[in-house]
Amino acid sequence: MSTVRTATRAPVLAVFASIQGEGAFVGEPQVFVRLEGCPLRCRWCDTPASWVPTSSPEEPAAVAARVAALEGARPRTVSITGGEPLMHPEFVRELARELAPRRVHLETAAAHPRALGRVLDVVAHVSLDLKLPADLDEPVELSPDSDESGSQGGHEPSPRDAVSWRAARRDVLAQVRGRDACGKLVLAGGRTPVDFAVVLDDVVELAPKLPLIVQPVTPMHGVAAPSADELHALVEDVRARDLLVRVLPQVHRALRLP
CA neighbor of 110 nearest in space, from 28, 167, 191: 167
CB of 83 to ligand SF4, least distance (A): 5
- Binding to ligand SF4, residues 89-148 (CB under 6 A): 109
Nearest distance in Å: CB 73, ligand SF4: 32
Q: Which of 83, 113, 216, 226 binds ligand SF4 (CB under 6 A)?
A: 83
Q: Which of 22, 58, 84, 202 binds ligand SF4 (CB under 6 A)?
A: 84
Instruction: Quote the longest CA-to-CA distance of the chain.
Output: 68
Pick the stretch among 39-47, 118-126, 160-168, 238-246 that binds ligand SF4 (CB under 6 A): 39-47
What is the full DSSP assignment across 176-228? HTTSSEEEEEEE-TT--HHHHHHHHHHHHHH-TT--EEEEEPPPBTTBPPPPH
Whichever of 183 and 233 has its CB closer to ligand SF4, that residue is: 183
| Cβ atoms of residues 115 and 151 within 8 Å | yes
H/E element holding 78?
strand 77-81
Closer to ligand SF4 by Cβ: residue 50 or 215? 50
Stated as kind and residue range, the H or E segment containing 257 is none
- By CB under 6 A, tell whether 20 contacts ligand SF4: no
Where does this chain bind ligand SF4 (CB under 6 A)? 38, 40-42, 45, 47, 50, 82-84, 109
